[in-house]
Chain A
Amino acid sequence: MAGKTLYDKLWDAHLVRQNEDGSALIYIDRQILHEVTSPQAFEGLRLAGRKPWRIDTNLATPDHNVPTTARAGGVDQIVDPVSRIQVKTLDANCDDFGIVEFKMNDHRQGIVHVVGPEQGMTLPGSTVVCGDSHTSTHGAFGALAHGIGTSEVEHVLATQCLIAKKMKNMLVRVDGELGAGVTAKDVVLHIIGVIGTAGGTGCAIEFGGSAIRSLSVEGRMTVCNMAIEAGARVGLVAVDDKTIEYFRGRAFAPQGALFDAAAKAWATLVSDADAQFDTVVEIRAEDIKPQVTWGTSPEMVVAVDGTVPNPTRESDPVKADGIRRALQYMGLEADQKITDIQLDRVFIGSCTNSRIEDLRAAAAVVKGRKVAATLKQALVVPGSGLVKSQAEAEGLDQIFIAAGLEWREPGCSMCLAMNPDKLGQGEHCASTSNRNFEGRQGFGGRTHLVSPAMAAAAAIAGHFVDVREMMQQ
């Protein structure tokens, strides 16, 4: 019999009940809640008179709607009344049900996918869900983690289980050595460019190979974060010493002898050598250059030294139509050089790229330089209060401010513009976030997805530049 994949092991360890028709009940160890996708779930519980099954497996924090400007005045200071009600509703629901919440002005508040691992709430071998598709991030630690809808948030609150069907196993192996200036973000954008935005539909993608192993755990989080942009609800990276060491001393992680016992179990969370995958994709690390998306889907991506595609060279009519539509929305010409795209704003943040290493990479590029005068705004939004403090302790905030970037309070911010940080109509933005969909960062806004280093370089130049060239200057 063939060995098991990491996904197989996680699935088997959480299987409560297997039904004959292929559906199953799987046990959920951790749920993270935020203000946008939870209010209707709490309302559903109340209407049905149900109590949460295991209240102390949940952690909440508001992130999507919170302002990133000074907010010492608390929730009452949120200007948009609809946003304010949503954040207050989360606070009230958590208070009522007794759920631990890092409220807006708690120093541990932040983006759910930054906070979960940072607190050791996410653990290797655990199942983690959240009403947010980027929950795939947590798979970087060998946790089975995926986004769910609001009905499922309610289901997990009430039963500690999910009704699920086993996914297929897909392996994306990136072997070789990444070049200088090529980051985890470039790796995952390149992968999405190769397999497409639906390439992983129905699959749990394990990212493996020497290039993935050489990434830091934060880099692996960036890769798994965007598994969903390749259609896969689940992204995974095998556990190694880096994973285990990451959890030492974290608030909700086991301590002392229990940590040692856990570490022993975690070390087995790798795919067996003879495990069978349904699909294997092989990528050479040396082929990956810094990436920039030009269109309105993450798969519409090219290397920074490339050009915007020409629909007349696309043989598939649906794809050619998609390219034409995207060019029109983005205000770009076919065959235009990527480095000729002029920018209006730069956004460094989001659950994809707002951790300390992301901020260090961006700061290293802007240090001693100035943001281009043509830029309307360049924002740096740390992923959590703890990331913010760490960055300030390292002096990164001062580097950003001296270069002319704005240093903000933690939250999702301009990734999806549910708070006041948004693009104006027609504005081009170099963004370290995860989605370049039409209107995503603001009505009529034009998003280009890049790494933190590339966003920082673009902020200095006012247009896209190859960060590798800037690093040599």
Chain B
Amino acid sequence: MKKFTQHNGIAAPLDRANVDTDMIIPKQFLKSIKRAGFGPNLFDELRYLDEGQPDQDCAGRPLNPDFVLNQPRYAGASVLLARENFGCGSSREHAPWALDDYGFRAVIAPSFADIFYNNCFKNGLLPIILSEAQVDQLFREVAEQEGYQLTVDLERQVVVTPSGAEFAFEVDGFRKHCLLNGLDDIGLTLQHADEIKAYETRRRQEAPWLFDAIHN
């Protein structure tokens, strides 16, 4: 997995609550059997005026000029500012894949939906929860100052604004460790193979019906 230690980049504000995963990456793009290439279709229905199709070249599509990521001042943004319950809806990991492929490395919001939050960590994308007041402040500052950049320091668990203000955030110790070191979850779990086998032996006694094979 991709490491995350520290990141500095342009922040882009997406000022709406309950941004769902259908909005982040619409269903027609979920037909891909690959992990990469979702970036051009990130926020497809907000970003373009026409209906996007899989495998289509997006270069010639009509852009929605009102959509924040289409504004020149947010070109190259890599930190997304968002509102409450970001990433609600489906379990599609295509949502963090699309954010990552577009170039985002961190999303800051007052709250996230559980599955999306979890999926981010598997892909080196850092979801950061700050208080509503702090997020409001960042929305105000980014609107006022063109080229506004944020620094995210995972080691110290802080978001640093251009004026040097620091906002601390919480992150689960295990996830932090994996992100800082770019560790593969499966490899880590397989280090406990003996414990998994011991569990199976014990459980087979208690609930043998759970060990009947699914068969044809």
27 residue pairs bridging A and B, Cβ less than 8 Å apart: A13-B206, A22-B172, A22-B173, A27-B199, A36-B31, A40-B35, A40-B93, A48-B186, A65-B31, A123-B210, A131-B93, A132-B90, A133-B115, A147-B115, A148-B91, A154-B186, A159-B196, A160-B200, A198-B88, A265-B207, A318-B84, A321-B16, A322-B18, A435-B20, A437-B89, A438-B23, A440-B27
Q: Are B45 and A438 in contact (CB under 8 A)?
A: yes
Q: Are B189 and A435 in contact (CB under 8 A)?
A: no
Task: Identify the stretch in A55-63, A176-184, A270-278 within 8 Å (CB) of chain B at 4 or more residues.
Answer: A55-63
Q: A297 to B122: give the CA distance in the assembly, Å.
A: 27
For residue B73, CB closer than 8 A to chain A, the reply is no
For residue A85, CB closer than 8 A to chain B, the reply is yes
- Residue from B84, B91, B174, B196 with most neighbouring chain A CB atoms (10 Å): B91
Partner of A161, one of B45, B173, B196, B207: B196
Partner of B83, one of A59, A85, A318, A416: A318
Nearest chain B CB to A208's CB is how many angstroms away? 22
Q: A155 to B93: give the CA distance in the assembly, Å.
A: 14
Q: A149 to B118: give the CA distance in the assembly, Å.
A: 8
For residue B155, CB closer than 8 A to chain A, the reply is no
Contacts of B173 in A (CB 8 A): 21-23
Q: A321 to B84: give the CA distance in the assembly, Å.
A: 13
For residue A342, CB closer than 8 A to chain B, the reply is no
For residue B17, CB closer than 8 A to chain A, the reply is yes
**Given known A21-B174, A59-B214, contact A198–B111 (CB-CB < 8 A):** yes
Q: A17 to B190: give the CA distance in the assembly, Å.
A: 12
Q: Residues 107-128 of chain B: 1 if any A CB is under 8 Å from the residue's CB, otherwise 0?
A: 0000101110011001100000
Q: Are A133 and B90 in contact (CB under 8 A)?
A: yes
Q: A65 to B28: give the CA distance in the assembly, Å.
A: 10
Smallest Cβ-Cβ distance to A160: which chain B residue: B196
Contacts of B186 in A (CB 8 A): 48, 50, 154-155, 158-159
**Given known A147-B91, A151-B122, A418-B31, contact A16–B215 (CB-CB < 8 A):** no
Q: Are A198 and B113 in contact (CB under 8 A)?
A: yes
A→B interface (CB under 8 Å):
13, 16-17, 19, 21-23, 25, 27, 29-30, 36-37, 39-40, 43, 48, 50, 53, 56-59, 64-65, 80, 82-83, 85-86, 89, 100, 121, 123, 125-126, 131-133, 135, 146-152, 154-155, 158-161, 163, 165, 197-198, 201-202, 228, 231-233, 252-254, 258-259, 261-262, 265, 297, 318-319, 321-322, 325, 416-418, 435, 437-440, 443-444
For residue B8, CB closer than 8 A to chain A, the reply is no
Partner of B26, one of A228, A231, A439: A439
Nearest chain A CB to B86's CB is how many angstroms away? 10
Contacts of A152 in B (CB 8 A): 118, 122
Q: A43 to B123: give the CA distance in the assembly, Å.
A: 16
Q: A262 to B199: give the CA distance in the assembly, Å.
A: 19
Q: Are A231 and B16 in contact (CB under 8 A)?
A: no
Q: Are A21 and B172 in contact (CB under 8 A)?
A: yes
Nearest chain A CB to B92's CB is how many angstroms away? 7
Partner of A437, one of B22, B31, B85: B22
Smallest Cβ-Cβ distance to A36: which chain B residue: B30
Q: A89 to B43: give the CA distance in the assembly, Å.
A: 26
Nearest chain B CB to A331's CB is how many angstroms away? 16
Nearest chain B CB to A43's CB is how many angstroms away? 8
Contacts of A53 in B (CB 8 A): 196
Q: Are A161 and B172 in contact (CB under 8 A)?
A: no
**Given known A21-B173, A37-B92, A151-B119, contact A262–B207 (CB-CB < 8 A):** yes
Contacts of A322 in B (CB 8 A): 16-18
For residue B192, CB closer than 8 A to chain A, the reply is yes
